[in-house]
Structures are given as structure tokens and as C-alpha cells.
Amino acid sequence: MDQHVNALTESGVLTADWATTFLAVPRREYLPEVLWEYCVDDDMYHPVDRSVNPQRWLALANGESQVVTQVDDGRPVGPDGLGDIPTSSASMPRIVALMLKHLEAQVGDRVLEIGTGTGWNAALMAQRLGAERVTTIEVDYGVAEQARQALRDAGFGKVRVITGNGSEGYPNEAPYHRVISTAACHTVPYAWVRQCRPGGRIVTPWGSEFKNWALLALDVNEDGTAVGGVVGTADFMRLRDQRLSPWTSPEQWQEDIATTRETSIHPTDVMRRGNVLMAMAAWVPNCQARYRQPLPETGNLSTMYLSDARTGSWARLVAKPESDGPHRVVQGGTRWLFDEVEAAYERWVREGQPGTDEWLITVGKDGQRMELV
């Protein structure tokens, strides 16, 4: 852990005032006895039980990567107890440090955390700010109980661990100086703004249905709005009440009545550029996207899939990595999703290819809006 802290400090991600806190609060002390590790061979998550495989458990616990601590909302759906979808985790130390840096919490501040998880992030803030200054809310009863016990064992029993819907915040202890979420949202809940003091700050992972990818920091104003923008990249599990609609798989697509066309846009033009993803968030609503990297067994094809389960609309763009186009597009349903994506991309180009720092996000009583500035 010491070498990780030193590396984070030297990179500037971990500020000096938080470095001693990270050293005093190691992540491994908040992890459950069973972790979950992804296996590419069967596309499933396998349990790593500390009592059965202590060396692998410690390697995961002390590593620099995210650690999955729950799958399928606590009820593994795969064969022989394997997991399909990760539903709770302990974040990468680098991302935790980045979020705390942008939170700018000071001694004396009262903080609301959305998404307790293992309790490690709450413990870090309790160590620095005081346990009685931290309230954390977790939607999953079992996860909340485990975190509550881990915090007690570590001497942070005064942290308030609430079991409830994080989207609603926790008004009983409001107002807070800071709100930090460890679950991603596509729409920042106004409850967080309402429960944060004017002059306070909200930090949350964020992204549209198109892609979940950004870290957002918003400052709360006297007029009841929160205004800010993207300050980094982060890929977190979503708030449970903002999970995406079921994905319409390609096997369900009616290609016999689909439309085929060509485009010069490559999948990576859209899926791998944060600047473009801001445009997709603003101008292509209610559209999910997935990207398949080129692999030798698929002829090194790069593929982008689009889906809107609400309307049953879908699209697929396939391209070779070395090709400048044209690339083949197939789409069907009542929305021509790729046409919308292409139009948004072309608008982004006409606007001068604005960067992530040129977008302003405002959250108010009337909802969330994005605008170029």
C-alpha cells in the first residue's frame, strides 16, 4: 500500500494532506471474505474466497485495480455459483484519490456519501474529517450491514450508515458541505443539490445512457442550482434506480427488414473520445452504445452497437481498423440511431470539436441541462 500511496502522491492525484489518511486506512481491511474475479474464458465472475485462496485474495485486495465485492445483487445467477454482473465493488485507489481531491472537503465539513459499498471511502473521510461528520447511504441491506461492521471494527462506529435509496439523499442530517457519490448517474438527483449548502460541492461519476465514463464536479449556488462540468474520467456502477433499460441483443434484431448504408465515421471516432461523448450525451438521448474491439478471430473488425429498448430500435457499425471507410451500417426500428449519432458527430465538428471543458452542466429544480460555453 505504501508504494501505491507514494506513486499517487508523486503523480499529483493524491494530495499530501490525504496521503497520511490513505496510509492509515488500508483498503483490504474493508473487503469481504469473498471477492469476485472476472474470467475471460467463460465471461463470468469467479469467487475468490480468502479461506480457500488467501494469496489470490490478498493480491486482489492490495492491488491497484477495482475489486468486485458483489455480483448479481448478492444472488449469483451463473452455473455453480458463478456471477454474471458486478453490482458492488471497492474502487481503484487512484479513482478514490481523484474524487476526494475534487471534493475539496476540509476539516469541519459534513459529508454525505451515496453508495457505501465496503465502507472504505467513508473510513477515509472519517479519518480525515471525523467519523461524526460522515453520513453514508447504501441501497443494499447486506452490503450496508457489512460496511457498518467493518467501520465499527476499525474504530469508526460514529459514521452514520443508512440503508436506503441514495438518489433521495438523507435529509435528516442535511444540509451538508459536500456530497460524494460512488455510483454513477445520467441525471444528477436534485435531492443532492437541495441537501447541500450553498457554496458546497457535489462530486459524482456521470455519463449518459450512451456511455458511462466521466467524473463530474458541481458547485452549489444560492439560487438552488448546482453548476459545473467534467473534471476527469471514471466508470462506476450506476445508481440502481438509474440502471439502463434491458439491452436489445443482436439476436433479436430483424435484419431482413433493416436499412443498410455506408459512413466514413469509424466506431473509435465516437466510442473512444471523451469530447465526442459529451456531444452524444447532449444530442442523442435514450441510446445505449457498446463497442467491440477488433480481434483476430473476427477478422480484426471494430464494431459499435446501438440500442433503444424503448422503441426496439437498433444499429450496427462495422469497420476494419486500418480502413478510412466507407464502413457498413445496418439499422432498424422506428429510430435510425446511427443517423442520429452521425448527425451529432457532424454537429460537434461544425461547432469546432469542443472539449469536455467547454460544456457546462446545470442541475436545478427543473432538471439537468447541458450547454456549450
Q: pLDDT (tens digit, 0 to 9) for every residue of the chain, 373 residues total?
A: 577 788 888 888 888 889 999 999 999 999 999 999 999 899 999 999 999 999 999 999 999 999 999 999 999 999 999 999 999 999 999 999 999 999 999 999 999 999 999 999 999 999 999 999 999 999 999 999 999 999 999 999 999 999 999 999 999 999 999 999 999 999 999 999 999 999 999 999 999 999 988 999 999 999 999 999 999 999 899 999 998 877 766 766 777 789 999 999 999 899 878 899 999 999 999 999 998 887 776 677 889 999 998 888 999 999 987 777 799 999 999 999 999 999 999 999 999 999 999 999 999 999 999 999 9
What is the rounded CA–CA span in Å between residue 239 and residue 184?
6
Helix (H) or strand (E) holding 25: none
Q: Is 302 a catalytic residue?
A: no
Q: CA 231, 234, 236 angle in degrees (round to 5)?
A: 140
**Cα separation values, 93 from 30, 99, 352, Å:** 13, 10, 35
Helix (H) or strand (E) holding 112: strand 111-114
What does the H/E/C string look like for 272-300? CCHHHHHHHHHHCCCCEEEEECCCHHHCC
Question: Would you say the C-alpha torsion 281, 282, 284, 285 has a positive or negative sign?
Answer: positive
Unique residue bearing C-alpha cell 456549450: 372
253 touches 332 (CB < 8 A): yes
**The predicted structure's pLDDT at residue 251:** 67
**The predicted structure's pLDDT at residue 265:** 93
Closest CA to 22 of 121, 150, 103: 121
What is the rounded CA–CA span in Å between residue 353 and residue 279?
9
**300: its cell numbers:** 480484426
Residue 337, phi-psi category: left (phi > 0), alpha (psi -120 to 50), beta (remainder) = alpha
The one-letter amino acid at 209: E
Helix (H) or strand (E) holding 56: helix 54-61
What is the rounded CA–CA span in Å between residue 111 and residue 115?
13
Catalytic position from the list 88, 89, 91, 167? 91
200 touches 180 (CB < 8 A): no
